[in-house]
């Protein structure tokens, strides 16, 4: 028994039409499907909704619910805004830079390019306040991933004991923090 893949990931949105327009125009996703009911099929709770499905590439589906009868959506105020995010992979750094220029040309504030060694990322917010990351793999990713794989359990064990960042892979963000080549 093993999970095959994520079927879809669903988030809330304030305006389904605005959300569909953002993801199709800004990120070039295809709008795949819309479902609307006056009650939730799983709980039978009376609650009208619009459920959007967008093609996030390679069989990945991003979905949104607009819930017009519920209080305005918020976010977990105890979690920093940088923690909860949706990350999408792009082909390469050139594509990442093309997206950055496209987003900024359309008035979207973009943070980065951030160097994570194994990939490079930009960050921005969608109209609903969801943080989005676009990540491009680093050309030397395979070797770095082997190094990370070799220490992952030791790092987790040390973190579990100390709740302090282990230094097994402190090279990972050395360039980003200005400590490396």
* Residue 4 scores a pLDDT above 90: no
User: CA 135, 138, 141, 144 torsion: positive or negative?
Assistant: negative
* Residue 161 scores a pLDDT above 70: yes
pLDDT at 149: 95
Do the Cβ atoms of 31 and 54 come closer than 8 Å? Answer: yes
Instruction: Copy the structure tokens of residue 147.
Output: 């190094």
What is the pTM assigned to this prediction? Answer: 0.91
Do the Cβ atoms of 41 and 49 come closer than 8 Å? Answer: no
pLDDT at 5: 85
Classify residue 66 by its DSSP letter.
Answer: E
Do the Cβ atoms of 124 and 130 come closer than 8 Å? Answer: no
Per residue in 38-50, pLDDT tens? 999 999 999 999 9
Per residue in 10-37, pLDDT tens? 999 999 999 999 999 999 999 999 999 9
Do the Cβ atoms of 128 and 11 come closer than 8 Å? Answer: yes
* Structure confidence at residue 180 as a pLDDT band (50, 70, 90): low
3-state SS assignment for residue 54:
strand
- Average pLDDT on 43-66 reads 95
**pLDDT, the chain, mean:** 94
| Sheet with 111-115: strands ordered across | 85-89, 131-137, 119-125, 111-115
What residue ranges in the chain does DSSP mark as E strands? 9-13, 30-39, 46-55, 61-66, 85-89, 111-115, 119-125, 131-137
Strands 30-39 and 46-55: antiparallel
The greatest distance separating any two alpha carbons of the chain, rounded to the nearest whole angstrom, comes to: 58
Q: Report the C-alpha gap between 82 and 130 in whole angstroms.
A: 10
Do the Cβ atoms of 138 and 119 come closer than 8 Å? Answer: yes
Per residue in 95-136, pLDDT tens? 999 999 999 999 999 999 999 999 999 999 999 999 999 999
pLDDT at 75: 86
């Amino acid at each position: 028994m093993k999970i095959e893949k994520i079927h879809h990931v669903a988030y809330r949105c304030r305006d389904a039409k605005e959300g569909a327009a953002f993801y199709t125009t800004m990120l070039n996703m295809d709008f795949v499907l819309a479902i609307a009911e006056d009650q939730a099929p799983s709980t039978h709770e009376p609650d009208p909704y619009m459920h959007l499905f967008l093609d996030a590439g390679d069989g990945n589906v991003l979905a949104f619910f607009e819930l017009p009868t519920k209080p305005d959506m918020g976010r977990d105020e105890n979690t920093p805004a940088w923690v909860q995010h949706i990350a999408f992979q792009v082909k390469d750094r050139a594509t990442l830079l093309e997206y950055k220029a496209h987003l900024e040309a359309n008035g979207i504030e973009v943070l980065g390019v951030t160097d994570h060694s194994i990939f490079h990322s930009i960050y921005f917010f969608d109209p609903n306040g969801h943080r989005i990351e676009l990540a491009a793999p680093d050309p030397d990713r395979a070797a770095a991933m082997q190094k990370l794989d070799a220490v992952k359990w030791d790092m987790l064990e040390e973190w579990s004991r100390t709740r302090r960042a282990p230094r097994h892979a402190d090279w990972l963000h050395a360039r980003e923090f200005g400590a490396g080549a």
